[in-house]
Amino acid sequence: MRGWGSVAVGMGLTFFSAVAAAGTVAIDVGHYLERPGAISAYGVTEFEYNHALAAVLAARLASEGVPVRLIGHRGEMADLRARPREAEAAGAGFFLSIHHDSVKEEHLRPWNWNGRALRHAEGFAGFSLFVSRLNPRLDESRACASAIGAALRRAGLAVATHHGVSSAGVERPLADEANGVYFYDNLVVLKTATVPAVLLEAGVIVNRDEERDLASAARRALTADAVLQGLQQCGVAIAP
């Protein structure tokens, strides 16, 4: 009886519901070592950023007694479908994929830093969240994405506004504009999960200013705190 809503069923069920609702949260480290995702303005792979933030978030949730399962943290997971499968086999009741954002090719500009030819983009910053309408638990996914987005905003972070159209020109409709939540139906980890699933782009690592912030312990802690608050609010992470 892991799931949402059961807390409200009645006093007699409160204890069991709280235990059941505090199911394992799967934290998915986006990308893998062989194909590590975007390269940041300062030449760091997205996988490294995802890995670092996932570790901070896992520790934060665990410190509140929320069971956590890291997925893909060894950098080995090439098969996207295996990620939710592994999470669910481990008893996860919620799937959160951690990513860091880039921008379309045409917005990237060459620059040199420390002798390396790299690329960066000005004018793009902030977090965004994605849910898939092909996930069977869309309402819960969306509620949690909105709650996380609201908590990130309360923490002072800005919503990224550059995701309205994909690089292929496909529109990505907004699920919750104020809180930075978009529909991205074909994201494999979201649509193949059978538990509620959300993807977080924590910030834009090709923006030189935002990358410096994203690399800081303070920003990671602030993001982890906000995700915890969001998950508590949507009923996923309930303190024992």
Q: How far is the CB of 167 from Zn ion (least distance, A)?
A: 13
The answer to whether 95 and 198 are in contact (CB under 8 A) is yes
Please check whether residue 96 is in contact with residue 26, taking contact to mean a CB–CB distance below 8 angstroms: yes
Rounded least distance, CB 50 to Zn ion, Å: 7
Q: Give the binding-site size for Zn ion (rule: CB under 5 A).
A: 3
Q: Would you say 23 or 36 has its CB closer to Zn ion?
A: 36
Nearer to Zn ion among residue 99 and residue 120 (C-beta): 99
Q: Which is nearer to Zn ion, 103 or 238 (CB)?
A: 103
Shortest Å, Cβ 37 to Zn ion: 4
Q: Shortest approach of Zn ion to residue 97 CB, angstroms?
A: 8
State the minimum distance, in angstroms, from the CB of residue 4 to Zn ion.
27
Per CB under 5 A, which region of 17-25, 92-100, 120-128, 163-171 contacts Zn ion? 92-100
Establish if 180 lies at the interface with Zn ion (CB under 5 A): no
Sketch the per residue contact string, 46 through 85, with Zn ion: x for CB under 5 A, - otherwise: ----------------------------------------
How far is residue 91's CA from residue 67's CA, in Å, rounded to a whole number? 10
Q: State how far the Cα of 1 lies from the Cα of 100, in Å rounded to an integer.
A: 34
Q: Two tokens at 185?
A: 């139906």
Task: Give the chain's largest Cα–Cα span.
Answer: 66
CA dihedral 141, 81, 226, 234 (to 10 degrees): 20
Reported as type and span, the H/E element at residue 54 is helix 46-63
* For Zn ion, the closer CB: 17 or 201: 201
Closest to Zn ion by CB, 21 vs 29, is 29
* Shorter beta-carbon distance to Zn ion: residue 17 or 132: 132
Please pick, from the candidates 60, 69, 83, 99, the single residue that binds Zn ion as defined by CB under 5 A. 99
Q: Could you tell me whether strands 116-120 and 109-113 are parallel, antiparallel, or unpaired per DSSP bridges?
A: antiparallel
Q: Which residue is nearest to Zn ion (CB)?
A: 99
Binding to Zn ion (CB under 5 A) within 4-43 occurs at 30, 37
Dump strand ranges (E) for 68-162.
Answer: 68-71, 92-101, 109-113, 116-120, 128-131
List the beta strands (DSSP E) in the chain: 24-29, 68-71, 92-101, 109-113, 116-120, 128-131, 174-176, 181-183, 197-204
Can you give the binding site for Zn ion, defined by CB under 5 A?
Answer: 30, 37, 99
